[in-house]
């Protein structure tokens, strides 16, 4: 009996240890070709792609709102891209995403010393201003929100998407 209880106690401790030491969600490197891959992998699904940065004041306010929007709209794919011009720090980026409730989104971090090349691939006219949100409809049509995205604008976009056929 004592051996069985001890076994259960050890199993419980191992389960707790495993869950507390599980690897945190990883940030994918955003590099040449990533933009085309994101669009390809989300084709046919409404997708919100948000470009932000750890050093961006408005982003710090907007991220928790986007986390709530994602939780309220599980049928929308959410992709975030940390596009800071300063050297990106994985730990700080992941911590902000976790705090904002965006850890479950598909999260990228710029991973190219020549960020202009990445921005040009996304939009040749983009000079790097963040926050920036690109909304991609089921049919692939894109609309861009420069600056902070208002949740009412995101809700309006979602209502225009209709339901899948």
Residue 56: CATH number of its domain: 3.40.30.10
Residue 68 lies in a domain: yes
Please give the model's pTM, rounded to 2 decimal places.
0.82
Residue 61 lies in a domain: yes
Domain of residue 77 covers 27-161
Residue 22 lies in a domain: no
Instruction: Name every residue whose Cβ is closer than 8 Å to that of residue 140 and which is 6 or more positions away in sequence.
Output: 39, 43
Our count of domains for the chain comes to: 1
Residue 63 lies in a domain: yes
Residue 20 lies in a domain: no
User: In the prediction, which pLDDT does 140 show?
Assistant: 95
Q: In order along the chain (165 residues), what is the average pLDDT of each group of 10 residues?
A: 44 38 68 96 97 94 97 96 81 95 96 89 94 96 95 94 65
Residue 101 lies in a domain: yes
User: In the prediction, which pLDDT does 23 show?
Assistant: 40
User: In the prediction, which pLDDT does 31 show?
Assistant: 94
Give the residue among 93, 76, 97, 96 at the shortest CA–CA distance from 158.
76
Phi/psi for 10 (5° steps) reads -65, -45
Residue 18 lies in a domain: no
User: In the prediction, which pLDDT does 163 show?
Assistant: 60
User: In the prediction, which pLDDT does 113 show?
Assistant: 80
| Helix or strand (DSSP H, E) at 35 | helix 34-41
Residue 16 lies in a domain: no
By 3-state DSSP, what share of the chain in percent is helix, strand and coil, each rounded to 5?
45, 20, 40
**Token pair belonging to 79:** 């992709």
């Amino acid at each position: 009996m004592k051996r069985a209880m001890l076994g259960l106690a050890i199993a419980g401790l191992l389960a707790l240890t495993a869950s507390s030491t599980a690897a945190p969600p990883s940030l994918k490197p955003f590099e040449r070709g990533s933009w085309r891959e994101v669009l390809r992998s989300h084709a046919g699904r409404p997708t919100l792609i948000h470009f932000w940065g750890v050093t961006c004041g408005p982003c710090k306010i907007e991220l928790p709102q986007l986390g709530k929007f994602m939780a309220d709209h599980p049928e929308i794919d959410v992709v975030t891209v940390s596009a800071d011009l300063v050297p990106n720090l994985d730990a700080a980026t992941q911590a902000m995403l976790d705090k904002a409730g965006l850890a479950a989104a598909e999260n990228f971090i710029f991973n190219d010393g020549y960020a202009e090349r990445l921005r040009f691939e996304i939009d040749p006219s983009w000079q790097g201003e963040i926050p920036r949100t690109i909304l991609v409809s089921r049919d692939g049509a894109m609309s861009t929100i420069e600056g902070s995205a208002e949740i009412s604008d995101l809700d309006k976009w979602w209502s225009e998407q209709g339901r899948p056929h």
